[in-house]
Structure 1
Amino acid sequence: TFGGVSIVPTDLTFSGDHRVDQIVLGSHTNLANGCSILPGSCLAPETMIGNLTRVSRETKSKFREVLMGVPARTMPFQMSVTPKNQDQIKIIPFWHSCLSHYVSKCLLLSIYSFGGLVGGSIIHITLVCGLNRCRSNKRHEIVQQIIERISQDYAQFICPFLGNTQWLIRLFRAYGAHIGENTIMPDISSITDYPLMSIGDNVRLNAGTQIQGHSFEQRIFKLAPVSIGNSCVLMSGSIVMAGCELMGNNRLYPLTLIMKNDQLPLNTDWKGLPAQSYTVKARLSRPTIIHDDLVKYQQGYETINKLFLWYERIASIYTSVNELQFMNYGYADMDEYIDEHTGYYSRKLYEQVLANVTLKDQNVLEINCGRGAGAAWCVHTHASHSYIGIDPSQDVINLCQRLYSTTPRLSFVVANATKHLPFENESIDIILCIQATHAFGERIAITQFANEVVRVLRPNGCLLWCDVCYMNESGILVYDLIENDELIIEEKTNITKNVLHALEIQNKSRTDFIQRYIQ
C-alpha cells in the first residue's frame, strides 16, 4: 500500500447502525495513493487498485486486473507478471529505528536550544535544504533514516506556516524545483521529487493536490519529469502522475487523476478517474422550452405540505405587490435593525447569492420563482440574455405573467423541478435556486432535481443554491445535491446568522400579514 489508503471494514447505514463486513485482499495486491477499500470488498490476487479508486462489495475483480475510478471500473489492461525475486521485503532492524529517532530528536533539540526560535528555524531550514540538494543513495541506512526524520520534523513544525505563501515556493526552489512567478501551493506535500518539477507562472494548486515525479511499477521505483504550464488550476484532490505535461491554461476538476506520461493540450479542462477531456460545447442563442406529449410531469407536489398551501393561497388571494414582493427569508447585516415592507432584505439575499457571478449575457433559470419580484430585479440589475422563472403553481405563474408581462427578456413557465425541467439539454448557463428545495419533500425529489439540473446546465454552468442544510433531520441537503458526482461544490458560505437576523427583524410585519391573509 501507498500513502492515504483507507481500509474500512465498517459502514454506517441510513438507520444509524454500524455494519461490519470482512475485507479480503488477494496476494500481491497493490493499493495506490488515496484509494478506499469499503466493507465487503474482495480482491483477487495480483489486483492493482489505482489512485483515488473506491472499491466496495459490488466491485468484481479478477486475477491481475487493474481497477480505477469511483466506483471502481476494470481497465482495458492488466498487471504484468511479478518476478519472484522482486517481491522481497527488506526488514529494517529495530535498533536502527530507535537510534535514528534518538539522534534526530537530539539534533532537533540542539538546533533550537542553540539558535532559539528564529535562529533555530533558519538553521533547520538551511540543514534540510542542504540535505535535499545533496542526496546520495550511498549513505548508510542509519544516516538515511536520520535525514528522513529531520525532514519529517521540519514538515511538521515549520511547513504548516508556509502554506499558500511565496515562502513555500522559495523553499521548493531551494529544494531544486523550477517554479515560476505568482504560483500558489497549499502545503509541503503538494509536490515531490523536487528536481523533476517544472511549474510555470500563475499556477494554482488547491488542498489535497499532488504532483509526483515517481511511480512504483511492479515494486520498482521509477522517476520521470513533470511539466505544468502557465495558468493551470489543479482543484482539490487531483493527482498528476510522473511524466505528465500540462501545456498551459488547463483546469483539473476535483479528484481528477492524470495518468503517467499523459499530455494535456493547451486550454483544456479535465475530470474523472482516469481523466477525460471536459469541453465546453457551443452556446445556444436561447433556451428552448420543450412541449413534448411524451414527457409527462406532475405540476403539483405529490406530498402536499403546509408551505405549498401557503404559497398557493398567497398567490390566489393577495395580488398586490406593494406589501409582499418576495417569498424568501431575506438577508440582513448584523448591524441592521429597521423593519420595512419593500423587500429590501429579500433583495439583499439575491445580492448575496449573486455576489461572485455575473448574469450578463447568460441564460438564467430560477427555480420556484414565487411572485416574480426577484426575477424582475435580476433582469433589471444584471442584464441577463434571458431569464426564465418556473414554479409548480399555476396561480403563481399567472400572477407573475400579469405583473411582468412587459419586462423584456423575462418569462415564466409552470414546471415542477422535482419531476422535469422543460428545457433542452445543455441550454442553461446559470440556475438560481433560493430557498426552494426545503419544500421538495423526500430525498428522491432532491436527487431528481439534481439530475435535471445536470441535464439542462451547459458545461461549466453553475447552480447557485441557497437553502436550509437539513431536511427532516435525516441528512445534509447540500450533499444530496452532489450525490451523483456531476455537481461540484466550488464555493460554500454559511449565512445562517444573517438569515435568522433578517427573519427576526421582519417577524412582526410577516406575522401580521399571515394573520390577515392566511389564517
Structure 2
Amino acid sequence: MGVTTFGGVLIVPTELTLSGDHRVDWITIGSHTNLANGCSILPGSCLASETMIGNLTRISRETKSKYGEVFMGIPARTMPFQMPPRPEIQDQIETLPFWHTCSSHYVSKCLLLSIYSFGGLVGGSIIHAMLVYGLYRCRSYIRHQILQQIIERLRQDHEQFICPFLGNTQWLIRLFRVGGAHIGKNSIVADISCLTDFYLITIGDDTRLNVRSQILCHSFEQRILKQAPVSIGNSCILMTSSIVMAGCKLMGNNRLYPLTLIMKNDQLPLNTHWKGLPAQSCTIKARLSRLTIAHNDPVKYQQGYETINKLFLWYERIASVYTRVNESQFMNYGYADMDEYIDDHTGYYSRKLYEQVLANVTLTDKNVLEINCDRGAGAAWCVHTHAPHSYIGIDPSQDVINLCQRLYATISRLSFVVANAAKHLPFENESIDIIFCIQATHAFDEPVAITQFANEVTRVLRPNGYLLWSSDELIIEEKINITKNVLYELDIQSKSRTDFIQRCIQSEKQEYFRLFAGLPGIQICEDMSQGRLEYWRVVFRKKTITTDMSVI
C-alpha cells in the first residue's frame, strides 16, 4: 500500500537471457516505497518498505534492500542517508468520480475538434496554443476539478499533436517564454517535455537541452509538492537523459553527460563537466589560481598542477555533500596519542587535533576566528567546550558556508561568513583575540597569498592576540612537531575511512577522497613517513606595540 511512482518508471518482470531464454520473475515492492523519474525495476527485485529509488536508478535482483534505504545509480548503490520519518497520518488520496473523467474527456475532444474545424490546421494550431498557454498562466485561479481536467487534456493534446513539430526550433522557445520561462538568445530545447514549471526556469544564452533531458522545478516529498526555481547559465549543455532537480543553479559553461542527475539545490561552478548518479565533477575548472611551483621536470609539474586543481574542486564538493554522515563531519587528519588505539569514526581524533592546536590557549570570553572552517563541526565543538565570547568560521566556498549555517544555526555565539583569508578578512582592525586554522594554509598556492594572509592576520589581531599557525610582527610562542601523532592516527583510522569510501563513493572518484582522508600510500603520508614533510603545531603571538616618547 502507498507506493508512489513518478514519470517514466519501468517495472519489468521479464528478461531475455544470453542463451535466448525468456524468463519471468517476481517483483516485490514494499509499502510506502517511492519510485522516482526514469527508474527501472528489473525481474527478481525485492524492495523493503519505506525505500526511496532515485531518478534514473536501476534496481535488480542483486540489489539488497533494507527498510528506509535510499538507492541511486546504475547499478543501484545505497546512499549514506535514509528517508525522513513518515508523518503518522493517514494517506489522503482523492479518487475522482468516473463521470468526471468521462465528462472532461468528452468536452476536451469537442473543443479540440471545434478549434481545428473553425481555424483549420494553421489557425487551429495558433488558437490551440493561445488557449492552452492562456489557461496555463491563470491556472492558479481555477479550482473546479472538471475544468482542471479539461485544461490538462487540452495541454496533453497540444504536446502530442503540435509540439513534436516545434522541437529544436525557436518556436518552441517562444512557447516557453509565453508560459513564463526566461530563456536567453540562441538556446535550443529538444522537445516540450524538457521543461516543467516554466515560470520557475531561467536559461541563459547559447544553451542546449538534448532529447529526454529534463529540468524539474518540483519534487514530491512524502507526497507534498515542493517547488524551487532553477537557473541555467550561459553556454550549458544537457545531454540525453540528464536531469536537473529543483533549486539547482548552473553557473555557466557546464556540461552534463548522459544519465547525469544534478541533486536538489546543487550549485555547479563555472566551467565544469559532470556525470553520474548523483553527479560528480569529471573535469577540473577551466582556470583556477595560477600555481607558482618551481620544478625541474615539466611533466611532474603539470601532473602536480592538475592534481592540486582537482583537489580544490573536490574539497568544495566533499565539504558540501553527505550532510547526514557522521564519518565525514570533520575533514582534518586528526591526532592520536602514541599509547591509544580507538578505531573511531565519530570525530574523536579530529577533536583531539583541535585540542592540540588550542593547547595552553584559552578561548573563554574571547573573540575567535577559524580560517577555512570546513563543515563547521570543529567550530561547534569549540563553542560548546570553551565558551568563547564569539566564534566566527570563514571559508571561501558559499556552499560550505550554507551547509554550516544550516547545520548549526541554533548555536548562539557561533556564526559563519564567506571570506578568503588569502585576500581579505572582513573584520575591523584589532578586533579578534585568537585566529587559528587547521590544514588550511596548503590552499595558499602563491607566496603573495601567504604574505597577504599574514598581513591580514596581523591587522585584525589585537595586541597579544594569538595566531595558532611569518611575519616580523608575530612572535613564536610554541612550536611542537606532531608528525608522528598524526601518522599514528591516520594508521588507526585507515580501515574505517577506507570502508566509508568504498561504501559511499563511486570507484572512479575514490582517488580524491583517499587523498583527503590521508590513507596509506598517498604521497603526503609517504613524505611525512620519510621526513620530507612535517606536521607542526605552532602558536604565534602578535607583538605589543609600544611607543617611547621623550619628555622635553
Q: TM class, shorter-chain normalised?
A: 0.5 to 0.7
TM-score w.r.t. the length of structure 2 is 0.51
1:281 CA displacement: 9.7
| Matches of 2:246 and 2:147, distance apart in 1 | 28
- Matched with 1:15 is 19
- Matched-pair identity in %: 77
Shift in CA distance, 226/77, structure 1 to aligned 2, threshold 3 Å: same
- Matched with 2:52 is 48
Correspondence 1:264 to 2:268: yes
Q: Secondary structure at the match of 1:227?
A: strand
Residues 487-507 of structure 1 show CA distances to partners (whole Å, capped at 9, x for unaligned) of xxxxxxxxxxxxxxxxxxxxx
Correspondence 1:3 to 2:7: yes
Shift in CA distance, 86/266, structure 1 to aligned 2, threshold 3 Å: farther
1:84 CA displacement: 4.0
Structure 2 letter corresponding to 1:173: R
Q: Secondary structure at the match of 1:195?
A: helix
Q: Is the 8 A contact 2:142 2:148 kept in 1?
A: no
Residues 152-184 of structure 1 show CA distances to partners (whole Å, capped at 9, x for unaligned) of 000011000000000000000000000000000
Shift in CA distance, 45/285, structure 1 to aligned 2, threshold 3 Å: same
- Matched with 1:150 is 154
RMSD of Structure 2 on Structure 1 (CA)? 1.9
1:85 CA displacement: 2.7
Q: Is the 8 A contact 2:270 2:285 kept in 1?
A: no
Correspondence 1:76 to 2:83: no
Q: Secondary structure at the match of 1:136?
A: helix
Residues 421-443 of structure 1 show CA distances to partners (whole Å, capped at 9, x for unaligned) of xxxxxxxxxxxxxxxxxxxxxxx
| Matches of 2:282 and 2:68, distance apart in 1 | 30
| Matches of 1:130 and 1:26, distance apart in 2 | 42
Q: How does 1:452-491 map to 2 (within 5 A)?
A: none
Q: Secondary structure at the match of 1:160?
A: helix
Q: 1:254 aligns with which of 251, 255, 258?
A: 258
TM-score w.r.t. the length of structure 1 is 0.54
Q: How does 1:131-142 map to 2 (within 5 A)?
A: 131-136=135-140, 138-142=142-146
1:20 CA displacement: 1.1
Structure 2 letter corresponding to 1:47: T
Residues 362-381 of structure 1 show CA distances to partners (whole Å, capped at 9, x for unaligned) of xxxxxxxxxxxxxxxxxxxx
Structure 1 letter corresponding to 2:78: T
| Matches of 1:60 and 1:15, distance apart in 2 | 26
Shift in CA distance, 119/281, structure 1 to aligned 2, threshold 3 Å: closer
Q: 2:211 aligns with which of 199, 203, 207?
A: 207
Correspondence 1:32 to 2:36: yes
Structure 1 letter corresponding to 2:127: I
- Matched with 1:220 is 224
| Matches of 1:50 and 1:190, distance apart in 2 | 18
| Matches of 2:111 and 2:12, distance apart in 1 | 38
Correspondence 1:162 to 2:162: no
Q: How does 1:69-468 map to 2 (within 5 A)?
A: 69-85=73-89, 87-136=91-140, 138-280=142-284
Q: Secondary structure at the match of 1:273?
A: coil
| Matches of 2:285 and 2:252, distance apart in 1 | 20
Q: Secondary structure at the match of 2:139?
A: coil
Shift in CA distance, 227/22, structure 1 to aligned 2, threshold 3 Å: same
Structure 1 letter corresponding to 2:80: P
- Matched with 1:446 is none
| Matches of 2:55 and 2:196, distance apart in 1 | 16
- Matched with 1:59 is 63
1:12 CA displacement: 0.8
Q: Secondary structure at the match of 1:19?
A: strand
| Matches of 2:189 and 2:7, distance apart in 1 | 19
Q: Secondary structure at the match of 2:79?
A: strand
| Matches of 2:182 and 2:255, distance apart in 1 | 20
Shift in CA distance, 108/281, structure 1 to aligned 2, threshold 3 Å: closer
Residues 331-354 of structure 1 show CA distances to partners (whole Å, capped at 9, x for unaligned) of xxxxxxxxxxxxxxxxxxxxxxxx
Shift in CA distance, 188/86, structure 1 to aligned 2, threshold 3 Å: farther
| Matches of 1:18 and 1:246, distance apart in 2 | 44
| Matches of 1:281 and 1:134, distance apart in 2 | 43
| Matches of 1:285 and 1:169, distance apart in 2 | 47
Q: Is the 8 A contact 2:167 2:192 kept in 1?
A: yes
| Matches of 1:203 and 1:71, distance apart in 2 | 30
Ranges in structure 1 where 5+ consecutive residues have no aligned partner = 287-453, 456-519
Q: Is the 8 A contact 2:203 2:233 kept in 1?
A: yes
| Matches of 1:125 and 1:284, distance apart in 2 | 61
Q: Is the 8 A contact 2:271 2:285 kept in 1?
A: no
Shift in CA distance, 284/210, structure 1 to aligned 2, threshold 3 Å: farther
Q: Is the 8 A contact 1:86 1:219 kept in 2?
A: no
Q: Secondary structure at the match of 1:255?
A: coil
Shift in CA distance, 140/159, structure 1 to aligned 2, threshold 3 Å: same
Structure 2 letter corresponding to 1:248: G
